[in-house]
Structure 1
C-alpha cells in the first residue's frame, strides 16, 4: 500500500469561550468507527472542548441527526463520522454522494461540520485512514469543525436582529397592555 502524501495541517484553533461538539457516528463497521471516534474525542479535548456522542444506523442518517441537533440544541459544531466501503452495487455512490451533499448543505446553512465519513474502495483503506495514531481522519474531522467554529465566532455578531427593531426586550402578549385601560 502506498504511503499517504504529506499535506499541510492548520494549527489547532484556540478558544476564549468553551466549545461543545456533537459527534454523530454511523457504526456500521464498529472497529473503524471506534478509531474515528477516538481521534475526534482526543482532538476536541486537546482544544479544551467537550463532546457528546450519538449513533445512527448509517451514513445517510448522519446529516439528518446533525440537522435535528442543529435546529434543536446548543452545540457549537458537529463531527460526522462513518465509513462506506464500495460493494457490488451502485448503493455506494448514492450513500457517498447524498450524505456528503446533505452535510455540505447544512454547512452552507451555518452549521459548523467536520466531515469524517470515509468513502473507500477496501476495508484496508478504511483501517489506515481511521487509525487514531495513523492518518486520524476522525481527528481531522473534529479539527475541521473547530476551525469553522472559530471562523463563525470571529465573523459572527453577538446577536443578529433581522427585520424590525423591537421596542423593548420583553415580549408583551395581547390583553396584557400596560397603561390606561378603557372601560
Structure 2
C-alpha cells in the first residue's frame, strides 16, 4: 500500500541571482555530505550560488546563521545536520533549541530552510539525507529559495513584524509618534 503523495512546489524564478549560505554540522559526515549534495543541486537548479561552512554541531548552526546575517550579504540560509536519538535527554535539547532558534530567525524575516534531521536511528537519517530518496537537503534549499522569492516580492513593504521601537515608546509616553 502506497503512502500519501506529497505536493512539491516548482522552484521560483529569479530575475537577479540569489546567494545562499549552507551551514552544516557534519557530526555524521556521510549523512551531512548527502544533505549538502541535495542542497547544492537544488540551489544550482534555481541558478543560485552558495557558500558552505561547517560548524561543530546542530546547536551552532543558528549561531553561525545569526553571525552571517549581521556581517555578510546572503539572501538566505540552508541549515543542515543530523541529530540521532541517544540514551539521554540531550537529543531533546539539541532538537528543540536548534529548531526554535531557526524559527525565531525566520520570524525576524530571515529566509531559512531547516534541514536538520531529527531521527530515531541512523537508517532513518540515511534515507532522509539521500538525494535519490527523500532528499531533505534539497528540500531545505528549496524552502529557503521560496522564502527568498517571497521576500523579494514584498521587498518594498515597510511594516515590521511584532513590536517596533516606536510602538513601545508610544505606549510609554502616551504619544503616537516619537522623534
Tell me which interval the TM-score lies in, with the shorter structure as reference length. 0.7 to 0.9
Instruction: Report SS of the residue matched to 1:134.
Output: coil
Q: CA RMSD in A?
A: 1.9
SS at match of 2:44: helix
Cα displacement (A) at 1:94: 0.3
1:143 maps to what in 2? Answer: 142
Q: Which has the higher helix share?
A: 2
Distance in 2 (alpha carbons) for counterparts of 1:69 and 1:26: 16
SS in structure 1 at match of 2:36: helix
Q: Which residue of 1 aligns with 2:15?
A: 16
Distance verdict in 2 for CA 1:4–1:56, change over 3 Å: farther
Note the C-alpha offset of 1:3.
7.0
2:100 aligned with 1:106, yes or no?
no
Partner of 1:60: 59
Post-superposition offset of 1:145:
0.2
Q: Gaps (5+ residues) in structure 1?
A: 164-183
Q: Which residue of 1 aligns with 2:170?
A: none
TM-score normalised by the chain length of structure 1 = 0.84
Q: Equivalent residue for 1:177?
A: none
Q: 1:116 is matched with which residue?
A: 115
Relative to structure 1, is the Cα distance of residues 5 and 34 closer, same or farther in structure 2, using a 3 angstrom cutoff? farther
Matched, 1:30 2:2: no
How many residues end up aligned between the 2 structures?
161
2:78 is matched with which residue? Answer: 79
Deviation at 1:110, TM superposition (A): 1.1
Q: Distance in 2 between matches of 1:100 and 1:35?
A: 20
Secondary structure in structure 1 of the residue aligned to 2:14: coil
Change in Cα spacing, 1:12 to 1:29, as seen in structure 2 (3 Å) is: same
| 2:128 is equivalent to residue 129 of structure 1 | yes
CA-CA distance at 1:159 after TM superposition: 8.8
For 1:116 and 1:106, how far apart are their aligned partners in 2?
15
CA distance in 1, matches of 2:54, 2:4: 31
Q: In the TM superposition, what is the alpha-carbon distance from 1:133 to its structure 2 partner?
A: 1.1
Query: Distance in 2 between the 1:6 and 1:105 partners?
Result: 30
Deviation at 1:5, TM superposition (A): 3.8
Shift of 1:6: 2.1
CA distance in 2, matches of 1:3, 1:99: 33
Q: Aligned residue for 1:91?
A: 90
